Amino acid sequence: MKFITWLHDISGQDVALFGGKNASLGELYRNLSERGINVPHGFALSAQAYTRFIAAAGLEKKIEELLADLDKSDVKELKRRGRRIREMMLKAELPDDIKREIEGAYEELEKKYGKNVDVAVRSSATAEDLPSASFAGQYDTFLNITGKESLLHTVRKCYASLFTDRAISYREDRGFSHFDIQLSIGVQKMVRADRACSGVIFTIDPESGFDKVIYLTGSWGLGELVVQGAVNPDGFYVFKPTLKEGYNAIIEKKRGTKHKMLVYGEEGIVERDVPGHMSDAFILSDGEIVTLAKWAMEIENHYGRSMDIEWAKDGISGELFIVQARPETVHSQRKSFSVYELMERGEIIVEGEAIGSKIGRGNAKIIRNVDEMEEFKEGDVLVADMTDPDWEPIMKIASAIVTNRGGRTCHAAIVSRELGIPAVIGTGWATEKIKDEGEITVDCSEGIGRVYKGLLRYEEREISFDSVPKTETKIMMNVAIPEKAFLLSQIPSDGVGLARLEFIINSRIGIHPMALVEYEKLKVARDEHIQRIVEEIERKTAAYRDKKAFYTDHLAMGIAKIAAAFYPNDVIVRFSDFKTNEYARLLGGNLYEPMEHNPMLGWRGASRYYDEKFREAFGLECRAIKKVREEMGLTNVKVMVPFCRRVEEGIKVIQTMEAFGLKRDDIDVYVMCEVPSNVMLAEEFAQIFDGFSIGSNDLTQLTLGLDRDSNLISHLFDERDEAVKRMIERVISAAKKYGRKIGICGQAPSDFPEFAEFLVEQGIDSISLNPDAVMKIREIVAEKERMMHSPR
């Protein structure tokens, strides 16, 4: 055949003939099928066929004339000319020799798969899917095409998609000539995802560029709704290093709403509501997630770069398939790392998924359809139900994007990453709750996407890693928010000295653990207030029959995300340190928490863990740690006991841990040094714990006898006070005597460089800092160490 080649004869070197998409498909089929990766078979129409079609129809000169003096910023004129070109192409006839080849190849597919085989028809431009340009969704794909006549008409529709408004605009922006690019067309056997599910895989975290994870996302039915952002899909993270070692390395599972799905109807593809039981369920089993992740790693290894992969599950055969793979194009080009920080707070209008880590602000402009695009001005914040490729001319002039629907691999997410602007997607109600023309701030800096009322102040700081000094003292980081961990791990550090469970419990769970432990008892209570709590718990935990498993799983996933980000460096996880008033604020908390006049000095930390009133709740934390270490393989996780007042308490806590499966010999256990008794009896504490971490906030409070939250005496609170420093000197000395690790995770060294120098002088092993202080203090510590070692 002159114009058609089967996938098994196409390689990744054939981009000039078949475009990036089809060259990649051929590369996949001929090289990876033999490794057990399922790729549907098919054929590709070469770019030469497109050139022949344009020439035979006499279209080149007409198109050149229509685009000669185009002002791409004139949205109305761009739409008019694009529509005229597409009309001409759809009316033109395919040359007879091309038609015969297409019909012959389709007949071959019918022999393999049956009469009127259903096929997917994909556009593949010769400059598409290159590392320097993503062309995300620029050219059209058509699904469930059956019969020769329908296929021939669809080929012309693919050719016409080379001149959609967004494709014309994109090429103009990137400096591509409209005739330097030709179109190849791929024809593959359809995977019946309409009866199952489909989605996208990145072999790199799409937000941070963290390359040790596979990010997999998907929804019920055909994959177009995921790409369009019409559904909020399920999302899964799999950790590559421990997946290679054979662990069930799924470190996060996030259930999407998935209310809509695309299926085949009597007249083409139709959108249907997803039944409630399917919407609440995950689309894939753990085994299927692991299989796709392993395939993704194979594909990444074959190509030698980060990849963006499409997958589908056939609902008839139950088999999984890879239907596309292309180079990831955003993070492969990152050259710097910027930290954004909101300097003031305001009223939160909506929340959703954060895309990127930036902050943007401007006048909100609600756009409901393509016809309203002319009203959009540069610097406005685009607010929409969802976006599609037709909207790209205004997306690139927006200061930020907010959508009702969509997941992290939808069109709005892909384009906002490439453009480098913040986006908050999947908010549910943005177009209703945000006021048109109102001033708003879009914040993606904290891992959760928030839209605030008003123009709030923020700062951007560039962090350079060009010259990172080495230090004998470990420079670690305090991390609370799992969603920020992948990004923060790019700052050179020696691990995490303090991972707080409180944020994970607050943001990911929001329910008092004892309300889950005693859920069955609460269900039969006759109290109206308790029944309202039960209803809310049921709503939050609908996917879990075992409510305790909800707590354990979500806690484990939060811990795992931080542990994976800094693997294989140590991540020291502090068991929960809520006070009674803080626990009471959780759903159901008022049923279990006493009223205390001074919660700061009350029932907190170690005293809870062995207490019968909380022991089972502490067991959930132990099981979460056990799951992270033993099932996910993240053995870099160590644990830390806060507010342990007495040596006897420490012994009781360790015994309780062992009762819940955390064996003392298998895991390092640290104790917070934040109570004067920890210092006075440091040698005794050193005999039962593997190390200390100084909590300078509480230690200062209790050494100086003041309430650190009181404005009246706040001027007296100072970690640099001589009494506090002597306490620290004493505990470091005791730790060294018994060969125990000693670090600090309190605020002081982040705020006061001279305090960091003092710690180095005392021989502390590690200093754990706020992320924004890591680079500055690392340089100070390196200089201090140099001075200490240099001859006097």
CA–CA dist 388, 161 (Å, integer): 14
What are phi and psi for residue 133, nearest 5 degrees? -155, 130
Helices and strands, counts by H and E, the chain: 31, 30
Q: Give dist(CA 408, CA 215) in Å, integer.
A: 10
355, 423 Cβ separation under 8 angstroms: yes
As a whole number of angstroms, the distance between CA 78 and CA 165 comes to 6
Q: Which residues are known to be catalytic?
A: 411, 745
CA distance 65 to 125: 22
Tokens 């020696």 correspond to 494
Beta bridge partners of 423: 355, 401
CA dihedral 25, 31, 36, 40 (to 10 degrees): 30
CA dihedral 12, 15, 19, 20 (to 10 degrees): 50
- Kindly give, in sequence order, each residue whose CB lies less than 8 Å from that of residue 99, ignoring residues fewer than 6 positions away: 152
C-alpha to C-alpha distance for 487 and 561, rounded to whole angstroms: 11
CA distances to 1, 47, 126, 407, 735 from 104, rounded to whole Å, are 9, 18, 24, 40, 80
CB 139 within 8 A of CB 161: yes
Tokens representing 353?
């998924």
Question: What is d(CA 196, CA 318) in angstroms, rounded to the nearest whole number?
Answer: 8
Residue 645 backbone class (left: φ over 0; alpha: ψ -120 to 50; beta: rest)? alpha
Using CB atoms within 10 A of its CB, is residue 621 exposed (0-12), middle (13-18) or buried (19+)? buried
Cα gap 39→25, rounded to integer Å? 8
Q: Pairing mode, if any, of strands 496-500 and 474-479? A: parallel
Short-list 765, 762, 767, 760, CA closest to 783: 760
Residue 690 has which token pair? Answer: 């593997």
Q: Which residue has the tokens 């020769």?
A: 148
Burial class (CB in 10 A: 0-12, 13-18, 19+), 556: buried
Contact between residue 296 and residue 239 where contact means Cβ atoms under 8 Å apart: no
What span, in angstroms and rounded, lies between the C-alpha atoms of 41 and 187? Answer: 9
> What is the C-alpha to C-alpha distance for residues 368 and 360, in angstroms, rounded to an integer?
21
* Residue at token pair 């170690």: 606
697 neighbors 678 (Cβ within 8 angstroms): no
Provide DSSP, 636-672. Answer: TEEEEE-S--SHHHHHHHHHHHHHTT--GGGS-EEEE
Single out the residue of 99, 150, 96 nearest to residue 120, CA to CA: 150
**Burial of residue 142, with CB atoms counted within 10 A of its CB: 0-12 exposed, 13-18 middle, 19 or more buried:** buried
785 C-beta neighbours (distance < 10 Å), count = 18
